[in-house]
Amino acid sequence: MKMEEIRHSLSHILAYSVKELFPDAKFGIGPSIENGFYYDIEVELKEEDLGKIEKKMKEILKKNIVFKNKEVTKEEAREIFADQPYKLQLIEEIPEETVSIYTSGDFVDLCKGPHVKSTKEIDSKAFKLQKLAGAYWKGDEKNPMLTRIYGLAFESEDKLEEHLKMMEEAEKRDHRKLGKELDLFHTDEEVGIGLILWHPKGAMLWRIIEDFWFKKHLQSGYELVRTPHIGNRRLWERSGHWGFYSGSMYPPLEVGQSLEELNNKSEVKESEQFLLKPMNCPFHVSIYSNKPRSYRDLPFRWAETGTVYRFEKKGELSGLTRVRGFTQDDAHIICRKDQVEEELKRVIDFILYIYQAFGFKQESVNVYLSLRDPDNKTKYAGNDEGWDFSESILRKVAEEKGLNFKEEKGEAAFYGPKLDFKIKDVLGREWQCSTLQFDFNLPERFQMEFTNDKGEKEQPYMLHRALFGSFERFIGLLIEHYAGAFPFWLSPIQIKILPVGEGHREYAREVAEKLDNFRVKIDDNNETIGKKIREGEMEKVPYLLVVGDREKENGTISVRQRGKIDLGEMKIEEFLKNLEK
């Protein structure tokens, strides 16, 4: 609580300093946040101004400014903030007759508090202005963009230093950095931004994960389907994507002629438009509707690692976590109403199993139940009855499964409520991975139906779900989670054999043959053994096997475990036994 007061007070001092240095500045809001504070201000700043502002803040802090709280009438407040349009707007939004203001030195702010009594309580060495960013007023793109100044603040200088060190350490785990260092993937402007090119080791990692995924899906009663990358415009019009999702879709391909004909400007007789798929759902629906379905056939659980393309705005792209082409580990469950609960539970169990299998602790995953906005019922597909049922059953199942979830009103998709699982990256940003969603839109639009036990046509329930979310995003988070040092089963190279000299290459190959159940590589570069070990360690290979005269003689290997010391000489059989453990 105290720290929050300090941080919040610092944001006022920040605003105070900006006002001194830039008298025309217009102030938005300035709260305390995790690890610090910010203030949104209409003022033009460059990063080099931060130093000036920080200096000013320290000057002000030294003056032992007292924070004085006062209730004033709205009329008075309007006068005080006459030249502050954003504050005036806030005043009007306050329901009460009076508003609370805080005065600190020559600076007055509309504010509920709480604050420290005086700047004496603030350690002027324990804060630091961090960075500038743009932020829309009230978080709305249509509003003007203010300049947000972020600051860090802690109890003491030591704590601040500690935090900065921690951030530095975290940056070393960044998947974009490790992706380069471990030679996993890259992007190329010439190929297209936001499109990932997976290198051999990255593709191997992907494949290991996909194999695991495939095996587990078969075990869990899923069937695989496979669908194209493009679909006719008519399909996307019918699904609603053409209308509602166009902001995130690549524009259509005109298909009425070849590229050659196009280049020759030949006349087009007939033309169709095709769109890159941003989602797999309509294709799966097409499979469903391909023949009449009986209540006896349900549920269908159809999974596909489907690569989709979304035209994300440039500024939103980021490493593997936000890209333009990505592969969802998608599945659709089409079932009867009486099967919904059971299916939801199965999916949640599956999701939890996946997190456990990849070492994500439940506390590092945040779960959100996204519900409809009760004040805006018109923007949603489906009827109230369906929504009430699905929202309450999602909640019930989430509770029964012991999920520690937050409910978020108005966060549902227009087509249905959902349960989202988000994982934090190394910089503390949350990324949606697993998701479990109801869909009232597609069954309606595609008139999906089955024949029930009374011989009547009935509309099935449709669930979308993804476990990883996308392979790209999940692998990005996985790289950070393990800091690139993957567990044995996930390592693209599991074992590297290092012959000491040229004379040991033959023996290295013999050893490799005995380990052919594993992903093994021989490093037969003409380098010293020290160098090979260094490279193997930097590559984060779980086991390095040194073979030289001694080992060749004794029919053994010398094992070195990643990050650790020499485990000593042993027979291959013994090494294999240890691996099993």
Partner RNA sequence: GCCGAUGUAGUUCAGUGGUAGAACAUCCCCUUGGUAAGGGGAAGGUCGUGGGUCCGAUUCUCACCAUCGGCUCCA
Footprint of RNA on 435-494 (CB under 7 A): 435, 466, 469-470, 472-473
Choices 160-168, 216-224, 438-446, 546-554; region in contact with RNA by CB under 7 A: 546-554
- Nearer CB in complex with RNA: 314/361: 314
3-class DSSP assignment, residue 556:
coil
Q: Per CB under 7 A, which of residues 47..66 are in contact with RNA?
A: 47-48
- Rule CB under 7 A: choose which of 87, 176, 241, 284 binds RNA: 176
What CA–CA distance (Å, rounded) separates 437 from 24? 48
- Rule CB under 7 A: choose which of 503, 506, 555, 577 binds RNA: 503
**Beta carbon of residue 503, minimum distance to RNA (angstroms, whole number):** 6
The 3-state DSSP composition of the chain as helix, strand, coil percent (nearest 5) reads 40, 30, 35
- Rule CB under 7 A: choose which of 14, 160, 178, 323 binds RNA: 323
Amino acid at 239: S
Q: Per CB under 7 A, which of residues 134..153 are in contact with RNA?
A: 134-136, 139-141, 145, 147-148
98: left (phi over 0), alpha (psi -120 to 50) or beta: beta
Q: Per CB under 7 A, which of residues 332..361 are in contact with RNA?
A: none
Q: What mask, x for binding RNA by CB under 7 A, covers residues 182 to 211?
A: -----x-x---xx-----------------
Show which residues are catalytic: 281, 310, 328, 330, 332, 418, 464
Under 8 Å between Cβ of 257 and 266: yes
Cα dihedral across residues 482, 487, 489, 492: positive or negative:
positive
Interaction between residue 280 and RNA (CB under 7 A): no
* Residue 312 backbone dihedrals phi, psi, to 5 degrees: -75, 145
Choices 76-84, 374-382, 441-449, 544-552; region in contact with RNA by CB under 7 A: 544-552
Interaction between residue 17 and RNA (CB under 7 A): no
Interaction between residue 549 and RNA (CB under 7 A): yes
Give one DSSP letter per residue of 485-498, joined into a string.
---GGG-SS-EEEE
- Binding-site size, RNA (CB under 7 A): 82
Q: Per CB under 7 A, which of residues 516..535 are in contact with RNA?
A: 525-531, 533-534
Interaction between residue 310 and RNA (CB under 7 A): yes
Interaction between residue 132 and RNA (CB under 7 A): yes
Cα dihedral across residues 171, 176, 180, 183: positive or negative:
positive
Choices 113-121, 132-140, 333-341, 397-405; region in contact with RNA by CB under 7 A: 132-140
Interaction between residue 259 and RNA (CB under 7 A): no
469: tokens are 């979310």
Angle of CA points 83, 89, 95, to nearest 5°: 130
The residues that bridge with 42 in the sheet, in sequence order, are 26
Interaction between residue 32 and RNA (CB under 7 A): no
- Nearer CB in complex with RNA: 48/267: 48
Angle of CA points 275, 278, 281, to nearest 5°: 105
What CA–CA distance (Å, rounded) separates 107 from 238? 58
Give one DSSP letter per residue of 168-235, joined into a string.
HHHHHT-HHHHHHHTT-EEE-TTT-TT-EEE-HHHHHHHHHHHHHHHHHHHHTT-EE----SEEEHHH
**Beta carbon of residue 288, minimum distance to RNA (angstroms, whole number):** 21
**Beta carbon of residue 469, minimum distance to RNA (angstroms, whole number):** 2
- Nearer CB in complex with RNA: 61/182: 182
Most distant pair of Cα atoms in the chain: their distance: 95
206: tokens are 């992907």
Interaction between residue 427 and RNA (CB under 7 A): yes
- Rule CB under 7 A: choose which of 375, 502, 513, 516 binds RNA: 502
Choices 6-14, 79-87, 322-330, 445-453; region in contact with RNA by CB under 7 A: 322-330
Question: b/e map of 532-557 (b: 16 or more CB within 10 Å)?
Answer: bbebbeebbbbbbbbbbeebbeeebb
Interaction between residue 510 and RNA (CB under 7 A): no
**Beta carbon of residue 452, minimum distance to RNA (angstroms, whole number):** 31
- Nearer CB in complex with RNA: 115/322: 322
359: left (phi over 0), alpha (psi -120 to 50) or beta: left
- Rule CB under 7 A: choose which of 85, 105, 252, 548 binds RNA: 548
Dump strand ranges (E) for 443-549. Answer: 450-451, 457-458, 461-470, 495-499, 520-522, 543-547
**Beta carbon of residue 323, minimum distance to RNA (angstroms, whole number):** 5
**Beta carbon of residue 174, minimum distance to RNA (angstroms, whole number):** 7
Under 8 Å between Cβ of 372 and 335: no
